């Protein structure tokens, strides 16, 4: 059995690596095809109507593909594992190819979704089929899907430790003692396949083990600053989702997908028109902010943050296939960079790129409830103790402060509020009030994102 598991892990890692390469190259090809070259250079030269047409047509095609196979939509890896273990889901080879195509169309047309969700899903699907081919015991299906997910994340981020920690924190924690070796094997091999062909997130300003205490002081100030933006993100997302999904979806249930596809295309088109860098997955933003020694207007940065928050939310509801790992990192990097730019105005000796790296890891770690992955990601991308320690302290404290009011759960569903039945004498009064956050909910699975609620008073 151990021999079979070793071979299965090796095959999962190698095949996942090649599929992730195919997926990444397909995204680049479609992006350049749709925008006639590098989108950041060509978009300013394209007509306005075309910028609206591309994402709108693309998301309609994605929804059309999803009508053939609902499993191509972006679901959480843990939910995939649970459904398969309970015989509620079967993943076919066709699903794998349709998922790659749908995600590449979503990303290539400018939707603000990440590559990590589909990558984890691709790895999970490959592991699932290898599990079937080797006729491994049913009790090992979750373990194999963990192996596949870790390989997919390790490949797309070109970061083996991040892949391992992601799988452990998501679904493999109960298997750590017995099966961690197979996660390591698959992640390392998937990383080895992609390292020469893909660009990892890097940090060119690393001080290594040297600690700068001025950064430590600045990081203490950064904790309440980024906490405010986490509150702002959750509040704005909750308001937008309530107004759009509850009101529109309730009245036009039959046309929900068409409405959100049109809305998604319009929002992405507007973002492309205003600032192309505010669209797409956000990887370019993260890499530039972490490595460029430049000064950017604080107002410009916060404008991009607002656009990305709205764009990410609408993209998921429009059924764009992709994760939110990278989009969240890009928002955090912008927050960190903006914070440091504000400190420099007061002659505080910090570099914005340091806080871009810290903010990217912290914002993702808090919103996805992946603190270990956040710390490992910070370590593996920067190799700088100032970033690692700053991330470790911030991600725990920000998660605690956020948890006082918001309840962020590791569930890959989006919640839609539904009113309770009220006594007749209260109906008139209730019509004028907003639905309180402790009311009952109706769940509608639409994408790979973290569900959140205000905590009841």
pLDDT tens-place string over residues 13-66 = 999 999 999 999 999 999 999 999 999 999 999 999 999 999 999 999 999 998
Say yes or no: 71 and 155 in one domain: yes
Q: Which of 150, 186, 178 lies closest to 166, judged by CA?
A: 150
Say yes or no: 217 and 102 in one domain: no
Q: Is residue 401 part of a domain?
A: yes
Say yes or no: 254 and 338 in one domain: yes
Q: Is residue 120 part of a domain?
A: yes
pLDDT band for position 345 (50/70/90)? confident
pLDDT band for position 441 (50/70/90)? very low
DSSP one-letter code for 168? I
* pLDDT of residue 76 exceeding 90: no
Say yes or no: 163 and 280 in one domain: no
Say yes or no: 232 and 366 in one domain: yes
Of 171-180, 255-264, 303-312, 320-329, minimum mean pLDDT range: 171-180
* pLDDT of residue 304 exceeding 80: yes
Say yes or no: 232 and 131 in one domain: no
Q: Is residue 427 part of a domain?
A: no
Position 95 scores a pLDDT of: 82
* pLDDT of residue 456 exceeding 60: no
The answer to whether 362 touches 394, Cβ cutoff 8 Å, is yes
Position 332 scores a pLDDT of: 94
Long-range contacts of 128-133 (CB under 8 A, 24+ apart): 128/84, 128/91, 129/91, 129/93, 130/8, 130/11, 130/12, 130/15, 131/8
Q: Is residue 149 part of a domain?
A: yes
Q: Which of 113, 406, 394, 441 lies closest to 232, judged by CA?
A: 406
Say yes or no: 254 and 390 in one domain: yes
Q: Is residue 330 part of a domain?
A: yes
Measure the CA–CA gap between 238 and 454, rounded to whole angstroms. 9
Q: Is residue 234 part of a domain?
A: yes
The share of the chain scoring above pLDDT 90, in percent, equals 29
Q: Model's pTM, two decimal places?
A: 0.80
CATH of residue 257's domain is 1.10.3080.10
Say yes or no: 166 and 272 in one domain: no
Please count the structural domains in the chain: 2
Position 422 scores a pLDDT of: 45
Position 437 scores a pLDDT of: 34
* pLDDT of residue 418 exceeding 50: no
Angle at 394 between CA 390 and CA 398, to 5 degrees: 170
| Mean pLDDT (whole number) for 266-281 | 90
Q: Is residue 326 part of a domain?
A: yes
Say yes or no: 184 and 220 in one domain: no
* pLDDT of residue 322 exceeding 60: yes
Say yes or no: 95 and 47 in one domain: yes
| Mean pLDDT (whole number) for 363-369 | 91
Say yes or no: 180 and 229 in one domain: no
Residue that has been written with the tokens 């790296």 in this structure: 357
The per-residue pLDDT of the chain, averaged, comes to: 80
Say yes or no: 167 and 271 in one domain: no
Pairing of strands 406-409, 451-454: antiparallel
Q: Cα separations (Å) of 222 from 225, 331, 371, 385, 407?
A: 5, 15, 17, 17, 22
Q: Is residue 436 part of a domain?
A: no
Position 266 scores a pLDDT of: 92
Range of the domain at 24: 2-194
| Residue 223 vs residue 159, higher pLDDT | 223
Q: Which of 259, 251, 255 lies closest to 56, judged by CA?
A: 259
């Amino acid at each position: 059995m151990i021999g079979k598991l070793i071979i299965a892990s090796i095959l999962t890692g190698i095949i996942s690596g090649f599929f992730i390469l195919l997926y990444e190259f397909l995204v680049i090809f479609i992006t350049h095809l749709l925008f006639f070259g590098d989108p950041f250079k060509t978009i300013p030269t394209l007509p306005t109507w075309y910028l609206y047409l591309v994402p709108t047509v693309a998301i309609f095609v994605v929804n059309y593909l999803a009508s053939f196979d609902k499993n191509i939509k972006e679901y959480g890896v843990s939910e995939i594992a649970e459904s398969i273990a309970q015989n509620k889901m079967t993943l076919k080879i066709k699903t794998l190819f349709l998922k790659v195509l749908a995600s590449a169309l979503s990303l290539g047309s400018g939707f603000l979704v990440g590559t990590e969700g589909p990558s984890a899903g691709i790895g999970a699907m490959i592991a699932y089929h290898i599990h079937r081919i080797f006729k491994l015991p049913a009790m090992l299906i979750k373990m194999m899907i963990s192996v596949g997910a870790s390989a997919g994340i390790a490949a797309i981020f070109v970061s083996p430790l991040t892949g391992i920690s992601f799988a452990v924190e998501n679904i493999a924690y109960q298997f750590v003692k017995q099966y961690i070796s197979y996660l390591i094997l698959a992640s390392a091999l998937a990383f080895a396949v992609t390292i020469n062909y893909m660009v990892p997130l890097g940090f060119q300003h690393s001080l290594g083990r040297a600690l700068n205490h001025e950064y430590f002081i600045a990081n203490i100030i950064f904790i309440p600053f980024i906490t405010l933006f986490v509150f702002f993100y959750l509040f704005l997302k909750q308001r937008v989702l309530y107004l759009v999904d509850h009101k529109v979806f309730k009245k036009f249930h039959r046309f929900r997908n068409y409405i959100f596809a049109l809305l998604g295309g319009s929002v992405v088109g507007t973002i492309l028109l205003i600032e192309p860098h505010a669209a797409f997955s956000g990887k370019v933003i993260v890499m530039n902010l972490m490595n460029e020694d430049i000064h950017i207007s604080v107002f410009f940065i916060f404008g991009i943050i607002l656009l990305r928050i709205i764009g990410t939310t609408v993209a998921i509801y429009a059924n764009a296939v992709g994760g939110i790992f990278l989009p969240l990192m890009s928002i955090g990097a912008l927050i960190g960079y903006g914070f440091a730019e504000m400190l420099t105005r007061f002659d505080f000796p910090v570099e914005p790129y340091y806080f871009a790296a810290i903010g990217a890891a912290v914002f993702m770690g808090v919103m996805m409830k992946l603190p270990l992955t956040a710390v490992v990601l910070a370590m593996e991308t920067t190799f700088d103790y100032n970033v690692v320690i700053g991330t470790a302290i911030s991600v725990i404290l920000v998660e605690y402060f956020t948890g006082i009011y918001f309840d962020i759960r590791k569930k890959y569903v989006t919640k839609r509020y539904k009113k309770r039945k009220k006594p007749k004498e209260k109906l008139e009064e209730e019509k004028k009030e907003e639905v309180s956050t402790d009311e009952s909910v109706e769940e509608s699975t639409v994408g790979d994102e973290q569900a959140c609620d205000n905590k009841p008073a």
